[in-house]
């Protein structure tokens, strides 16, 4: 049975990224040396990307259970009960390295991959969000010392990524409704392209990726197999980048959203026939992972004849067929005797559907090529018994000298110029140039679309409920203090969801980090994970799935540790959904606050030095993220849900990048030409003006309401122990923020809006 194409030696194993120990373990499992095909199969399944070998032992610390959780981590996506017999199916993935090598196709196939994860489970995708992190696209203090060449390249990457996301999602017919976009120097040669998809299904119609029933046919459906994407998971996603990495372009797959749309419709229709037993998409590691994971989960074996696999190219070896990551393919197990029903559906949609093998009862993944066995491996060993590492962990050495902190401007200073710089910074500026390239409305369920609220809100036509979803993750804060930064990511995404009136019910996470073989990276990872676990417990948002992306390092420079959280919320009544824009002139503006300000000037200085303002205006990234009080965050979330359900407020927008000033301005920008006139004295702040106006501490939300609702709003806030500071009113006049009797930010709202709205387009269309 030895495949003689290449003789396997320890050196060949090493070239496949397998350590000597791992190679020894493979020989132990097989009781012999592996064939070349078997070595390839092991190398992808045991890659970091597929096996989670560095993260597995730590991921156990995350809370994964909850009253609404139907399916936690371990399946293609998480599943949450949303009532009325429906479930929400959602998950986040990364496609970082492919998108750096080939931005358009990398981003496009990232969207394709996560969509398959959703409809594999029998759910129809209803929304996509794309959290993106790029290097600087404009010069200035916030760009670090990025060169002009680097900035031009970052623009090129961003442009390709946005086009790729739009290309795939728009054609497939799923609305792309959000995702945060941020910029930091550490992402210059390693952008983060994360993508979250959300679908819905009837609870009893869920499908799982499990094979069962010896003798049942194993059916291949969708696109033909080519030589693209071979070793995408192992070489692209599980190694650092060097100068030669651009030559890995052939490892990037090519996406065909039309094919994926056909696959979606055909799969959902085939599932409805009742003849499908289990189904899994061929994502990372293609045929190898889909077959071995389905067999392993079902406790059975699978036998496949490669000669029957539809192939796009001639002369493909068993190794290539097993490792190809050609897109838009699925593997399913049907009930023996009913395969005709499945074939008919796929043929109706013009797709290949071929029986390529059968389920066996010997627990082995057996691969035949023209009836000759080329690989025979225990499926469970391949899928579940991969190496697990307890990698060394060490905190980074404390810096030699004290980092420079922000020196606060004196009281009475006019901060309007700095406010304008903040509005123009890519992180704060309007993302409309990006989001209008996405079809955000198809399927007519988008109740709160991109930019209109703190989270996207999708109505469910079948019920009166709606789902809200938001992503968040501040890498700059995590680089300063990963534990607190990760807590903030959970808290902010949850707060965003609550600002629309939805109760956060579950989360998915994408953990983007550097090389796990470096002890400091593992320290960042475990710190962030512990912070995330604590926050998810406190806010009652269990993690139902997600993804770990390690090796985000290029030329030895690693990214800021960036855990990205996607939080799902449930609105009992879609009619109560709130946007972030002010609604009427003369409405009252109130700050809801659950936490408290820094105790001393020194503490305020430390917190403020990590803000977007400190970075953009002073070029300072130092200090620590604001302290976080999870119990306070929880009370604020519950208060917001209640306020929305009681219709006591008309808009809600959380205080984040750029502080109160930017929050207030954004609520004006997303309104119909309204402005705001506020006085921050009621907050009785002892903070320096800059910290009061631009500080970013959490557990704060700006709401607006009709004057007649004030008493009701105050009563509800008091019930949850939330301070409600009435700071001013919505107007049609000048935008003005006063403190201690003097305006600190003041000007025409249309002028501010112009700066905020045009900044991204100016940077990118001039490129």
Instruction: Compute CA 358 distance to the chain's CA centroid, rounded to the nearest angstrom.
Output: 36
We find the least distance from the C-beta atom of residue 350 to another protein, in angstroms, to be 7
CA distances from 336 to 38, 261, 271, 545, 702 (A): 29, 27, 15, 32, 60
105 interacts with another protein by CB under 8 A:
no
Interaction mask 553-592, another protein, x per CB under 8 A: ---------------------xx-----------------
Helix axes 257-272, 148-172, angle to 10 degrees: 40
We find the least distance from the C-beta atom of residue 344 to another protein, in angstroms, to be 14
| Beta carbon nearer to another protein, 163 or 642 | 163
338 interacts with another protein by CB under 8 A:
no
Interaction mask 520-559, another protein, x per CB under 8 A: ----------------------------------------
From CA 418, how far away is CA 416, in angstroms rounded?
A: 5
173 interacts with another protein by CB under 8 A:
yes
Structure tokens that stand for 396 in this block: 């980074």
Report the residue from 45, 115, 127, 166 that binds another protein according to the rule CB under 8 A. Answer: 166
Report the residue from 336, 443, 723, 762 that binds another protein according to the rule CB under 8 A. Answer: 443
CA distances from 212 to 288, 292, 300 (A): 18, 13, 6
From CA 270, how far away is CA 469, in angstroms rounded?
A: 29
Report the residue from 21, 436, 586, 599 that binds another protein according to the rule CB under 8 A. Answer: 436
| Beta carbon nearer to another protein, 22 or 439 | 439
**Candidates 49, 97, 618, 653; catalytic one:** 49
In degrees and rounded to multiples of 5, residue 618 shows phi and psi of -105, -5
Report the residue from 212, 437, 706, 714 that binds another protein according to the rule CB under 8 A. Answer: 437
User: If residue 692 lies in a helix (H) or strand (E), which one and from where to where?
Assistant: helix 689-694
Say how many C-beta atoms besides its own lie within 10 A of residue 106's C-beta.
26
Report the residue from 171, 307, 585, 645 that binds another protein according to the rule CB under 8 A. Answer: 171
Cα–Cα nearest to 70, from 45, 88, 91, 54: 88
The number of residues making up the chain comes to 767
The count of residues interacting with another protein (CB under 8 A) is 33
Report the residue from 105, 440, 554, 562 that binds another protein according to the rule CB under 8 A. Answer: 440
Choose one: 171-179, 281-289, 300-308, 414-422; the region binding another protein (CB under 8 A).
171-179
**Candidates 16, 31, 58, 95; catalytic one:** 95
| Beta carbon nearer to another protein, 328 or 593 | 328
Say how many C-beta atoms besides its own lie within 10 A of residue 456's C-beta.
30
Structure tokens that stand for 193 in this block: 């392209």
We find the least distance from the C-beta atom of residue 95 to another protein, in angstroms, to be 20
438 interacts with another protein by CB under 8 A:
yes
In degrees and rounded to multiples of 5, residue 730 shows phi and psi of -75, 135
From CA 749, how far away is CA 736, in angstroms rounded?
A: 9
| Beta carbon nearer to another protein, 575 or 599 | 575
Mark whether 347 is an active-site residue: no
| Beta carbon nearer to another protein, 431 or 459 | 459
Interaction mask 144-163, another protein, x per CB under 8 A: -------------------x
We find the least distance from the C-beta atom of residue 256 to another protein, in angstroms, to be 8
Choose one: 165-173, 399-407, 506-514, 626-634; the region binding another protein (CB under 8 A).
165-173
We find the least distance from the C-beta atom of residue 432 to another protein, in angstroms, to be 8
447 interacts with another protein by CB under 8 A:
yes
Choose one: 8-16, 179-187, 402-410, 443-451; the region binding another protein (CB under 8 A).
443-451
CB contact set of 654 (below 8 Å; sequence gap of 6+): 454, 492, 495, 496, 499, 663, 700, 701, 702
Choose one: 199-207, 444-452, 537-545, 731-739; the region binding another protein (CB under 8 A).
444-452
172 interacts with another protein by CB under 8 A:
yes
| Beta carbon nearer to another protein, 256 or 492 | 256
Mark whether 49 is an active-site residue: yes
Asked if residue 137 lies in contact with residue 763, where contact means CB atoms within 8 angstroms, the answer is: yes
Interaction mask 235-274, another protein, x per CB under 8 A: ---------------------xxxx-xx--x---------
From CA 743, how far away is CA 745, in angstroms rounded?
A: 6
| Beta carbon nearer to another protein, 21 or 575 | 575
Secondary structure (DSSP) of 97-141: HHHHHSHHHHHHHHHHHHHHHHHTTTPEEEEEE--EEE--SS-SG
From CA 96, how far away is CA 214, in angstroms rounded?
A: 39
- Burial class from Cβ neighbours inside 10 Å (0-12, 13-18, 19+) for residue 149 reads exposed
From CA 144, how far away is CA 184, in angstroms rounded?
A: 8
314 interacts with another protein by CB under 8 A:
no
- Torsion, Cα of 281, 56, 74, 331 (10° steps): 20
Interaction mask 52-91, another protein, x per CB under 8 A: ----------------------------------------
CA distances from 624 to 487, 608, 610, 628 (A): 13, 8, 6, 11
We find the least distance from the C-beta atom of residue 171 to another protein, in angstroms, to be 5
446 interacts with another protein by CB under 8 A:
yes
Asked if residue 35 lies in contact with residue 6, where contact means CB atoms within 8 angstroms, the answer is: no
196 interacts with another protein by CB under 8 A:
no
Structure tokens that stand for 740 in this block: 């201690």
Residues that bind another protein (CB under 8 A): 163, 166-167, 170-173, 256-259, 261-262, 265, 349-350, 436-447, 449, 459, 461, 574-575
What amino acid positions are annotated as catalytic residues? 49, 95
């Amino acid at each position: 049975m030895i495949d003689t194409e290449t003789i396997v030696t320890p050196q060949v194993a090493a070239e496949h990224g397998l350590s000597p120990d791992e190679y020894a373990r493979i020989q132990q499992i097989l009781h012999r040396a592996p064939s070349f095909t078997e070595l390839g199969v092991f190398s992808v399944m045991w890659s970091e990307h597929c096996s989670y070998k560095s993260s597995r032992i730590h991921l156990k610390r995350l809370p994964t259970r909850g009253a609404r959780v139907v399916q936690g981590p371990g399946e293609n996506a998480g599943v949450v009960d949303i009532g009325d017999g429906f479930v929400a199916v959602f998950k986040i993935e990364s496609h970082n390295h492919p998108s750096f090598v080939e931005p358009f196709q990398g981003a496009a196939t990232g969207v394709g991959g996560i969509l398959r994860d959703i409809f594999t489970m029998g759910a129809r995708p209803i929304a996509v969000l794309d959290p993106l992190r790029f290097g600087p696209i404009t010069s200035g203090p916030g760009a670090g010392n990025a060169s002009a060449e680097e900035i031009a390249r970052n623009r090129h990457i961003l442009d390709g990524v946005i086009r790729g996301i739009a290309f795939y999602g728009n054609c497939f017919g799923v609305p792309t409704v959000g995702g945060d976009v941020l910029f930091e120097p550490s992402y210059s040669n390693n952008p983060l392209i994360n993508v979250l998809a959300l679908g819905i299904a009837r609870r009893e119609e869920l499908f799982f990726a499990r094979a069962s029933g010896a003798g049942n046919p194993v059916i291949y459906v969708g696109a033909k197999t080519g030589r693209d994407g071979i070793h995408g998971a192992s070489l692209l996603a599980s190694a650092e980048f060097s100068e030669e990495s651009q030559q890995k372009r052939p490892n990037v797959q090519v996406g065909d959203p039309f094919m994926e749309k056909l696959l979606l419709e055909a799969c959902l229709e085939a599932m409805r026939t009742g003849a499908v037993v289990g189904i899994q998409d061929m994502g990372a590691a293609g045929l190898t992972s889909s077959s071995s994971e389905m067999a392993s989960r079902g406790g059975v074996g699978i036998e496949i004849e490669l000669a029957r696999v539809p192939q796009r190219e001639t002369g493909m070896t068993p190794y290539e067929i097993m490792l190809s990551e050609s897109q838009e393919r699925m593997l399913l197990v049907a009930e023996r005797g009913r395969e005709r029903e499945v074939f008919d559906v796929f043929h109706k949609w013009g797709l290949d559907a071929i029986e390529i093998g059968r389920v066996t009862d010997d627990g082995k993944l057996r691969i035949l090529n023209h009836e000759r066995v080329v690989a025979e491996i225990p499926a469970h060993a391949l899928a579940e018994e991969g190496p697990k590492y307890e990698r060394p962990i060490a905190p980074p050495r404390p810096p030699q000298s004290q980092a420079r902190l922000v020196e606060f401007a004196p009281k009475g200073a006019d901060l309007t110029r700095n406010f304008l710089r903040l509005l123009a910074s890519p992180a704060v500026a309007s993302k409309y140039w990006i989001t209008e390239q996405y079809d955000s409305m198809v399927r007519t369920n988008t109740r709160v679309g991109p930019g209109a609220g703190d989270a996207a809100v999708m109505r469910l036509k079948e019920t009166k409920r709606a789902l809200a979803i938001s992503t968040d993750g501040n890498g700059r804060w995590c680089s300063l203090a990963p534990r607190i930064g990760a807590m903030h990511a959970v808290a902010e995404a949850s707060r965003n969801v609550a600002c629309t009136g939805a109760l956060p019910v579950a989360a998915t996470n994408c953990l983007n980090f550097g090389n796990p073989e470096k002890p400091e990276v593992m320290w960042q990872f475990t710190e962030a994970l512990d912070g995330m676990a604590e926050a998810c417990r406190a806010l009652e948002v269990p993690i139902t799935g997600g993804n770990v992306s390690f090796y985000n390092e290029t030329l030895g420079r690693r990214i800021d540790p960036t855990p990205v959280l996607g939080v799902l919320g449930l609105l009992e009544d879609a009619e109560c959904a709130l946007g972030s824009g002010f609604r009427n002139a003369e409405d009252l503006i109130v700050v809801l606050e659950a936490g408290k300000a820094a105790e001393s000037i020194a503490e305020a200085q430390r917190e403020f030095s990590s803000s977007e303002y400190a970075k953009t205006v002073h070029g300072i990234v130092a200090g620590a993220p604001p302290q976080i009080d999870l119990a306070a965050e929880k009370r604020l979330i519950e208060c917001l849900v209640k306020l929305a359900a009681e219709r006591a407020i008309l808009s809600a927008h959380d205080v984040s990048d750029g502080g109160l000033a930017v929050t207030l301005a954004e609520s004006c920008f997303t309104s119909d030409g309204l402005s705001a006139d506020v006085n921050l004295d009621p907050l009785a702040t002892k903070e320096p003006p800059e910290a009061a106006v631009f500080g970013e501490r959490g557990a704060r939300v700006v709401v607006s309401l009709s004057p007649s609702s004030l008493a009701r709003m105050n009563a509800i806030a008091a019930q949850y122990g939330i301070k409600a500071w009435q700071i001013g009113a919505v107007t049609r006049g000048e935008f003005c923020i006063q403190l201690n009797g003097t305006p600190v930010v003041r000007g025409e709202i249309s002028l501010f809006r112009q700066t905020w709205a045009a900044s991204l387009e100016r940077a990118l269309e001039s490129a």
